[in-house]
Structure 1
Amino acid sequence: MRKFGLIGKKLGHSFSKKYFTEKFLREGVTDAAYELYELSSAAELPQLLSQEPELVGLNVTVPYKEQVIPLLDELDEAAAKIGAVNTIKISGGRTKGYNTDYIGFRDSLEAFYPEQERGQALVLGTGGAAKAVWAALDALQIPYKRVSRQAGEEQLSYAQLTPELLQKYNLIINTTPLGMYPQVQEAPELPYESITSRHYFYDLVYNPEQTLFLQHAAGKGAKVLNGLPMLYLQAEAAWNIWNL
């Protein structure tokens, strides 16, 4: 039996096991199982691999997408460039890291954000998921500004996001876990009153289906999308890598 799974700190929000279990049933894959592995730190990865010798593939979620890199034997070129890993292939006792978040985000954004509407983007958060988003925006030639708690070079703080500034950016992407189940009453600090029907809001969070961030935006007539299309696309890309 081939084993696959997801590693992260808290996985109660994740749909990955459900997605892969249903995929295996639907496609008649009888030699595979997918499990959730909550690790208290990324440093527990080698121990997990020794305890579960049948593991041949892992997905990686917050907060370990950057922390696992030094623990891997090899990095795919794209993952090395992005600086974050969300997929690990285990073969012959060796581990290789990939980034399929990039593929999932890029392809889902292209379908959601029409070329004729494209302007500038604000990317909320600067973690491992944000790195994949930055790379996808670069590939699609969509200019963007990073947003974090602290302002810096090429980076805005949340305090700088005025109603006037929000009019310059019609794509707002949340890469933070704010609003994720079970903390569903949280949302990034934005002047939501200044959102218009010109705006596109993309939240990488998919549980709940519509976060407070997306509810605020939809209430102002903005187009909204959660992270489920990205999850499915990155999962399929990971499956392809594991089966190469």
Structure 2
Amino acid sequence: MRRFGLIGRPLGHSASAKYFTEKFHKEGLSDCEYALYELPSVEELPSLLAAMPELCGLNVTIPYKRSVMHLLDRIAPEAQAIGAVNCIRRLRNGTLEGHNTDIAGLRAALDRLLGGAEPAQALVLGTGGASQAVQYALAERGIPFALVSRDAAKGNYTYDNLPCEAVSESRLIVNASPVGTYPAVGEAPRIPYAYITPEHFLLDLVYNPPLTRFLDCGLRRGARVLNGETMFRGQAEASWRIWNT
């Protein structure tokens, strides 16, 4: 049996196991299994791997996309440049390779959301591992961006001092934080939504629920919106390719 899975905490919102289980069924891969491994600490990863030698690959989600890196033997150049890992490949000799497939999903999501539009600047909500990939993707496109964080030391703004002008002038706003994820579906990043216009594009990396309060507020203001499903599927398929190389 070839086993794969997801590590992170919490994992109640994740659709990864369902996605891969359905994929294995459709493709007749009866020797493959995907499960969720909620680890209280990323430092428990070696114990998980020791207990399950048949684990071939893992996805990594919040809050371990950066902290897992010191436990890996090799990190792909792009993941190193991004500063976050969301995909681990375990070689037969036990070597652990870190990759970032979030970037593949983000490229697809931005293509779908923006089409041919080229926003002059963007606002990124959150500064965690997912935000690292967003920043990399925006830099690839030559889109300047500012960061909003709960921690003043990590962003250009905090949610408490975010100027209205930063929202009105940033025609692309990306929620790279977990705010609004199931089960906390009533929450949304604290930004002045009144300054969003029909010229805005809102991307939420959250896919559960499909319509977050963040996106709903954008829709009510006439903005074009996209949830995290495109990114989720893109990164999942990119992970599968890596595990099978």
Query: TM-score, normalized by length of structure 1?
Result: 0.96
- 2:13 is the alignment partner of 1:13: yes
Superimposed CA distance per residue, residues 21-47 of structure 1 (whole angstroms, 9 cap, x where no aligned partner): 111111121211100000000000000
Superimposed CA distance per residue, residues 98-146 of structure 1 (whole angstroms, 9 cap, x where no aligned partner): 0000111112111211233422110011100000111111111111111
Q: Could you tell me whether the CA contact under 8 Å between 1:76 and 1:98 is conserved in 2?
A: yes
Q: Could you tell me whether the CA contact under 8 Å between 1:106 and 1:137 is conserved in 2?
A: no
Q: Could you tell me whether the CA contact under 8 Å between 2:119 and 2:170 is conserved in 1?
A: no
Q: Could you tell me whether the CA contact under 8 Å between 1:76 and 1:97 is conserved in 2?
A: yes
Identity of aligned residues (%): 52
Rounded to whole Å, the distance in 2 between the matches of 1:172 and 1:217 is 10
1:161 Cα deviation (Å)? 2.5
Segments of 5+ residues of structure 2 without an aligned counterpart are none
User: What number of residue pairs does the alignment pair up?
Assistant: 244
- 2:60 is the alignment partner of 1:95: no
Rounded to whole Å, the distance in 2 between the matches of 1:61 and 1:158 is 24
Counterpart of 1:40 in structure 2 is 40
Counterpart of 2:119 in structure 1 is 118
Counterpart of 1:30 in structure 2 is 30
Which segment drifts farther, 43-52 or 163-172?
Answer: 163-172
Which segment drifts farther, 101-110 or 170-179?
Answer: 101-110
Q: Secondary structure at the match of 1:160?
A: coil
Which segment drifts farther, 68-77 or 152-161?
Answer: 152-161
- 2:163 is the alignment partner of 1:169: no
Superimposed CA distance per residue, residues 158-179 of structure 1 (whole angstroms, 9 cap, x where no aligned partner): 2332333322100000011111
Q: Could you tell me whether the CA contact under 8 Å between 2:121 and 2:169 is conserved in 1?
A: yes
- 2:48 is the alignment partner of 1:68: no
Q: Give the residue type in structure 2 aligned to 1:54.
A: E
Rounded to whole Å, the distance in 1 between the matches of 2:46 and 2:187 is 34
Q: CA RMSD in A?
A: 1.3
